[in-house]
Structure 1
Amino acid sequence: MTSRLFSPLVLLLVLAFLIGPFAIIIAASLSAGETLAFPPQGLSLRWVFKVFEIESFRQSFGISLFLAIGGTLTALILGVPASYALSRYKVPGAETIRTIVSSPIIVPGIIVGLALLRYFVVPFNTGILFALFMAHTALILPYAVRVVSASLTNLRSDIEEAAVLLGSSRVGAFFRVVLPNIRGGILAAFILGFVTSFNQVPVSLFLSGPGIRTLPIDMLAYMEITYDPSVAALSALLAFMSLGIVFLAERFLGFSRYV
């Protein structure tokens, strides 16, 4: 009897540990008080509406959206051909190349951000927005390569060879046969890259500048001078946005097959 209750109890504790912080943030965002507090001081949606009135949040949201979409698309443009080459050809040092490509997610983000600032932005006087774009692209590239490679591994190579034998060129076979069959993996890589970029903090912290900050960095700066529940409201909205994107990806793409 005890062993039957142990597993459900552990599962319940794990769920409480994972969901608890989200529940606290959501409750704090609905507070009617003037300061961020839990338990909330009454219930109100005033701070949720205030989020849309803060100019810096709107501006930084646009920058984060640009970086997430642009960086992910660029990473896919680079990652899809790289994944195809690593999956279909005997590339010398393929494992070493995979390790190098994966290095942005292996190395701590703080080190990546500091290195880019010291050896890329400062010496070459690179613009902050361009540096952020390059950094986010580099951070997303490993996810693009890994997810697309998984899709290519599950796609039989003889289908492509049959298209070539029937008269198609290699490039034509890629666009007509391979690409349509791995579009689910590409979309999954896009969603994973988008969420990763949008919520990125360590690298963005080092590469932010006057007037150019991503939304997470702007939220940190806002909390340094204001301690009202609007940051909790924005955090809750972002959490729901990320969960909604992942839920839709799982519902229509089978997201768990690729990651």
Structure 2
Amino acid sequence: MRNKHIGLGLFSLLVYIFLLGPLLIISATSFEPGTVLKFPPSGFSLQWYQNIFKVELFPQTFKTSIVISLLGNLLALLLGVPAAYALSRFSFRGKDTLNAIFLSPVLIPGIVLGFTMLKYLIVVYHLPIYTGLLIGHTVIMLPFIIRVIGSSLSSFDFAIEEAALSLGAGPLRTFFKVVLPNIRSGIIAAVLIAFLESFNNVDISLFMTGPGISTLPIQMLTYVENYFDPTIAAISMLLMILTAVLMFVIERLMGLSYFTKR
């Protein structure tokens, strides 16, 4: 039995090394003082973190990514909250089909989805690139909004809502005064997860960006094609810190067990 536990411990250690090793290597190489990405680094320098702000397109595309993620999040919330409520509250014909449609952007390969949006939104309907990019990011955020808020609603006692209705509150007032406050933590968690999905997205953005409009991940990809310095490692380090902070907030709000329900 003791040998079995030792074997499981060693296996778990190997898994952690496999998962965290690349992140640790990227973190170390971001402090390389030389002009070439190298591991282990030959010294310690913060010059490549400074270089992020010297390359004009990085702050510009960072702003675009933030705006697209926030606006897309707002649109996804306007669509996703009523959809999650209806799917959790009512039983009706075609409910499973509708739920599958809402979750399909997660199941369809990103390249296929991005090419389809490019063909129809930009080529066929001639939408502006910024509008098409916003629609694309809204679509990929919607499943996360519905899934997380739906998980939050699954633990909500709808008898409270019925009590409010029986006491004379209208449906809208009940929804905004009773239902939403009780799932507030779920909404915040959904917004944070959807934000991360949108901000780090590459496949949809690759097809939907165009001249003068790009997102930070696409600009990072373009930079790597032309330069081999540690600037991208420095950006990756900052993005890892941002992701870790947001995941910590999500865990404090709901706990990761919420996302394994249903």
Match of residue 128 from structure 2: 127
Q: Give me the whole-angstrom Cα distance separating, in 1, the residues matched to 2:69 and 2:137.
A: 8
1:20 partner letter: G
Look up the SS of the partner of 2:218 in the other structure. helix
Match of residue 54 from structure 2: 53
Question: How much does 1:208 deviate?
Answer: 1.3
Match of residue 97 from structure 1: 98
Match of residue 245 from structure 2: 244
Deviations 1:100-122 (A, max 9, x none): 11111100000001001112211
Match of residue 39 from structure 1: 40
Match of residue 18 from structure 1: 19
Look up the SS of the partner of 2:201 in the other structure. coil
Q: Give me the whole-angstrom Cα distance separating, in 2, the residues matched to 1:258 and 1:72.
A: 20
Q: Give me the whole-angstrom Cα distance separating, in 2, the residues matched to 1:20 and 1:254.
A: 28
Question: How much does 1:84 deviate?
Answer: 1.0
Q: Give me the whole-angstrom Cα distance separating, in 2, the residues matched to 1:146 and 1:224.
A: 36
Alignment of 1:60-99 (within 5 A): 60-99=61-100
TM-score relative to the length of structure 1: 0.97
Match of residue 256 from structure 2: 256
Question: How much does 1:33 deviate?
Answer: 0.8
Alignment of 1:91-170 (within 5 A): 91-170=92-171
Aligned partners of 2:129 and 2:213 also within 8 Å: yes
Question: How much does 1:249 deviate?
Answer: 2.2
Aligned partners of 1:101 and 1:142 also within 8 Å: yes
Matched, 1:175 2:166: no
Question: How much does 1:90 deviate?
Answer: 2.1
Alignment of 1:225-236 (within 5 A): 225-236=226-237
Q: Give me the whole-angstrom Cα distance separating, in 1, the residues matched to 2:59 and 2:140.
A: 24
Look up the SS of the partner of 1:227 in the other structure. coil
Q: Give me the whole-angstrom Cα distance separating, in 2, the residues matched to 1:67 and 1:256.
A: 26
Q: Give me the whole-angstrom Cα distance separating, in 1, the residues matched to 2:63 and 2:255.
A: 26
Question: How much does 1:77 deviate?
Answer: 1.0
Question: How much does 1:125 deviate?
Answer: 1.6
Q: Give me the whole-angstrom Cα distance separating, in 1, the residues matched to 2:158 and 2:245.
A: 34
Q: Give me the whole-angstrom Cα distance separating, in 2, the residues matched to 1:255 and 1:34.
A: 42
Question: How much does 1:244 deviate?
Answer: 1.0
Aligned partners of 1:188 and 1:255 also within 8 Å: no
Question: How much does 1:158 deviate?
Answer: 0.5
Q: Give me the whole-angstrom Cα distance separating, in 2, the residues matched to 1:62 and 1:255.
A: 30
Look up the SS of the partner of 1:210 in the other structure. coil
Aligned partners of 1:36 and 1:228 also within 8 Å: yes
TM-score relative to the length of structure 2: 0.96
Question: How much does 1:91 deviate?
Answer: 2.5
Deviations 1:168-212 (A, max 9, x none): 111111111101001111001001000000000111111111111
Counting matched residue pairs gives: 258
Matched, 1:28 2:29: yes
Deviations 1:40-69 (A, max 9, x none): 122111111111221100010001001111
Question: How much does 1:124 deviate?
Answer: 1.8
Name stretches of at least 5 consecutive residues in structure 2 with no aligned partner: none
Question: How much does 1:225 deviate?
Answer: 1.3
Runs of 4 or more consecutive aligned structure 1 residues displaced over 4 Å after TM superposition: none
Name stretches of at least 5 consecutive residues in structure 1 with no aligned partner: none
Q: Give me the whole-angstrom Cα distance separating, in 2, the residues matched to 1:218 and 1:168.
A: 51
2:80 partner letter: G
Q: Give me the whole-angstrom Cα distance separating, in 2, the residues matched to 1:120 and 1:74.
A: 17
Instruction: Output the aligned Cα RMSD.
Output: 1.0
Aligned partners of 1:32 and 1:46 also within 8 Å: yes
